[in-house]
Amino acid sequence: MTKNKSIREVALNILESVEKNRAYSNLLLTHAIFQNDFSKKDAGLLTELTYGTLQRKITLDYYLQPFIQRKKIEPWVMHLLRLSVYQFAFLSKIPDHAIIHEAVEIGKKRGHKGIAGFINGVLRSIQRRGLPSIEAIDDPIEKLAIETSHPLWLVKRWIDQYGLEKTTAMCKENIRAPKQTARINRWKTSGDEVFHALKKEGLDVSKSEHLPDAIQSSNGNLATSNAFRNGLLSIQDESSMLVGFAVDPKEGERILDTCSAPGGKTTDVAERMNNTGTVIACDLHPHKLKLIEENKKRLGLANIETVVIDARKASTRFPLESFDCVFVDAPCSGFGVIRRKPEIKYTKTETDIRKLASIQREILHEAAKLVKKGGRLVYSTCTVDKEENEQVAMGFLKNHPDFERDENLAKRLPKSVEPFVQGNSLQLLPQDLQSDGFFIASFQKKV
Ligand SMILES: C[S@@+](CC[C@H](N)C(=O)[O-])C[C@H]1O[C@@H](n2cnc3c(N)ncnc32)[C@H](O)[C@@H]1O
């Protein structure tokens, strides 16, 4: 138990807020850990319970179904039942009686005796009769969807796009815990200095197998380290770091980042330019640009300017053909980052994908006007959906004869991703390097 609320109560609040307010689980978790001043151990359990229950929601509903049948259940009670069944099914170290006791106590506190009795009844029946077997599902695609907790329409869509084998691997990878990686601020420090500083703080860090300047921690939160506070590193997934390689800026250049917040790629590009030149970082939302200003200060960078603008109107603000490189890290469905934001798989729809693809096309069309002749346009998303990725990229080339494929993309990217590059584009699936699913396409404006 913590000062005010039990860990399971906090987990329950997060699960409710994710569903009710469409809030992001990772942000709520960070906030709750900070606000409750949880110990490292408690923070670990809270993370496991919250992420685990969210990741496995469809599987847990399958397990619960025979015990609740068609009863109308309040959402918070449903979350509490899922949270409890998650512990039954996946956390063998927690005894059943403790799981039931705590759920019943929360039931009494939040509801009334009747609800607590219902929760007790459901959980005791599960304890007695055991969980239903997933092996009993005949249809292999439905089985994959339930076993890995993905909506059936999404699994079918991925099978159409990637085939059964890759989809199976992707679904399985999506329910694994993500690695925590960071990018070393190369203009301010060296890898050795960061390693030394982090080890002194008790963090067990190792170098990335795939990228220079990427590190990972196996025993602690890099974002709360002094090295982070002192601007020696930025939290960023390895896939996301690839955009910096694709942009490959030179000192003194003028670069436009059309969709920049919270600034992971803006700061990478600014660091790669050794704090020279200018990176103009645009975003639709002013409050998000504040995060870039904070990061800029923390990292000691003076070559970033932030601008609030709808990227679909960027040419009203900047002179045409005035940037050496424009990169569009577009708003997308986020199906490549399900490990970090599991709620994405339950909330995004095919209509969202269609709408996003249309916004992506509009932003790219506008961005294209701002690239100098001979300059580069780099398009990226953290999704795996082909409608937002290769279809947008192919459509762009078809409608913009003043651009051509940038066939040198593979030469700029690290060797480890070479097998995933085709011509001017790269599609990484989460299982490829155990990093985020990610897409990059690069175009060159004809001279
Ligand atoms: C994938 S995120 C960018 C992540 C960022 N590049 C990074 O590496 O930290 C997409 C961003 O696009 C912004 N956005 C959405 N629609 C936009 C628009 N029409 N114009 C400009 N920015 C937009 C969102 O606010 C969001 O911050």
pLDDT digits (tens, 9 = 90+) for 235-254: 999 999 999 999 999 999 99
Distance 236 CA to ligand 1 centre (A): 16
Closest listed residue to residue 199, CA positions, set 160, 180, 226: 226
Q: Are 396 and 328 in contact (CB under 8 A)?
A: no
Q: Is 61 annotated as a binding residue?
A: no
Q: Using pLDDT thresholds of 50, 70 and 90, give the confidence band for residue 2.
A: very low
> How many Å apart are CA 265 and CA 259, to the nearest integer?
10
Does ligand 1 come within 6 angstroms of the Cβ of 354? no
pLDDT of residue 35: 87
Q: Are 317 and 416 in contact (CB under 8 A)?
A: no
Atom number, ligand 1, closest to the C-alpha of residue 260: 6
Instruction: Ligand 1 pocket test: pick from 234, 268, 272, 283 the residue with the most ligand atoms within 8 Å of its Cβ.
Output: 283
Distance 242 CA to ligand 1 centre (A): 17
Residue 3 has pLDDT above 60, yes or no: no
Sequence-ordered list of residues with C-beta below 8 angstroms from that of 258, at least 6 positions apart, any chain: 282, 311, 314, 326, 327, 328, 329, 363, 366, 367
Of the chain, the percentage scoring pLDDT greater than 70 comes to 99
The pLDDT tens digits of the residues spanning 407-445 come to 999 999 999 999 999 999 999 999 999 999 999 999 999
pLDDT of residue 4: 58
> How many Å apart are CA 320 and CA 353, to the nearest integer?
30
The whole-number average pLDDT for the span 291-318 is 97
Does ligand 1 come within 6 angstroms of the Cβ of 261? yes
Does ligand 1 come within 6 angstroms of the Cβ of 282? yes
Residue 121 has pLDDT above 90, yes or no: yes
Of the chain, the percentage scoring pLDDT greater than 90 comes to 88
pLDDT of residue 39: 86
pLDDT of residue 30: 85
Does ligand 1 come within 6 angstroms of the Cβ of 395? no
The pLDDT tens digits of the residues spanning 53-99 come to 999 999 999 999 999 977 789 999 999 999 999 999 999 999 999 99
Largest Cα–Cα separation, the chain: 75
Closest listed residue to residue 131, CA positions, set 81, 80, 184, 67: 67
The whole-angstrom distance between residue 87's C-alpha and the CA centroid of its chain comes to 24
pLDDT of residue 38: 87
Q: Is 52 annotated as a binding residue?
A: no
Establish whether 382 is a catalytic residue.
yes
Ligand 1, atom 10: closest residue by C-alpha:
331
Atom number, ligand 1, closest to the C-alpha of residue 311: 20
Write the DSSP assignment of 192-254 as a string of letters.
HHHHHHHHHTT--EEE-SS-TTEEEESSS-GGGSHHHHTTSEEE--HHHHHHHHHH---TT-E
Does ligand 1 come within 6 angstroms of the Cβ of 231? no
Does ligand 1 come within 6 angstroms of the Cβ of 362? no
Q: Is 160 annotated as a binding residue?
A: no
246-283 burial, b at 16+ Cβ within 10 Å, e below that, comes to: bbbbeeebbbbbbbbbbbbbbbbbbbbbbbebbbbbbb
Ligand 1, atom 27: closest residue by C-alpha:
261
Distance 72 CA to ligand 1 centre (A): 39
ipTM > 0.85, yes or no: yes
pLDDT of residue 424: 97
pLDDT of residue 5: 76
